[in-house]
Amino acid sequence: MLVDTGSRDVPAHICHHRRSEDGCADCKVRLISVCAGLALAELEELEALSQHLTLDKGHTLFGQGEPANAVYNVIAGALRLTRLLPDGRRQVMGFALPGDFLGLALRECFSVSAEALGPVRTCRFGRQDFAAVVEAKPHLLRSLHARAGYELTLAEDQMLLLGRRTAEEKVAAFLLSLRDRFARTGHLSVTVELPMGRQDMADHLGLTIETVSRMLSRLDRARTILLVPGGVRLLDMDRLEQLAAG
């Protein structure tokens, strides 16, 4: 099925949910999302405006420069957020994980593209409908301010990440950041999933893919991490934190 996100069609499946087991009240990421402060009746009101949208790997949720006519709450999966530079190079700005809200910036067009790294489920709200709900509910606005503060922290961390750090320090800081973000969703584990590929990590960290692979192998040989299928196991947290603080 194709869903119109405003300026073009995107291969996806839409599910209009109403008070089902997949509804807002039972959403697994509600408590870490902007919806956390809403009462049950308010959740039902919000649910009436929403659509469930699922994407397969490689499908685009929205593209850079497209009209920002919707906001999205990531329920499951991960998306790569990229920006195409004027010279044609690609910069990976970040990765959206469960609980993240996309499209909240007050821009007429999306400044990045969001592409699914695997199967993804999101909750979609029309921007005008969502804005009307926010205007009527000051406590939801406070949640949005908190979310904006969280995203600002991520942006500041990214600036530090791309600053005067060695390649090994960048990789260590990235792994710890992912661990902390997954922990917010309740996934407290020393094994960190890496839904993104080595090239995505490289483009995000300002490194080459060869350097990222070499740093991961170095950390693995030093028994700081253990490379496992689909991710890494963090073995020496003290060493990783020492590197990340560099």
Q: What is the pLDDT of residue 6?
A: 44
pLDDT band at 17 (very low <50, low <70, confident <90, very high): very low
Question: Looking at residues 31-38, what average pLDDT do you find?
Answer: 69
44 has pLDDT over 90: no
3-state secondary structure 146-160: HHHHHHHHHHHHHHH
Q: Is 230 left (phi over 0), alpha (psi -120 to 50) or beta?
A: left
Spelled out in words, what is the top-level CATH class assigned to the domain 2-157?
mainly beta
Mean of the per-residue pLDDT values of the chain:
82
Find out whether 229 and 192 touch, Cβ atoms under 8 Å: no
pLDDT tens digits for range 137-189 = 776 666 665 666 666 666 666 666 666 789 999 999 999 999 988 888 777 77
Q: What percent of the chain has pLDDT over 70?
A: 76
Find out whether 31 and 95 touch, Cβ atoms under 8 Å: no
Between residues 146 and 215, the one the model is more confident about: 215
Question: Looking at residues 24-43, what average pLDDT do you find?
Answer: 71
Domain boundaries, the chain: 2-157, 162-244
Question: Looking at residues 78-83, what average pLDDT do you find?
Answer: 95
Other beta carbons less than 10 A from residue 2's beta carbon: 11
Other beta carbons less than 10 A from residue 220's beta carbon: 16
**pTM for this one?**
0.80
Q: What is the pLDDT of residue 149?
A: 62
162-244 under CATH 1.10.357.10, yes or no: no
Ranges 13-17, 49-53, 80-84, 86-90: which has the least confidence: 13-17
pLDDT tens digits for range 122-132 = 989 898 888 88
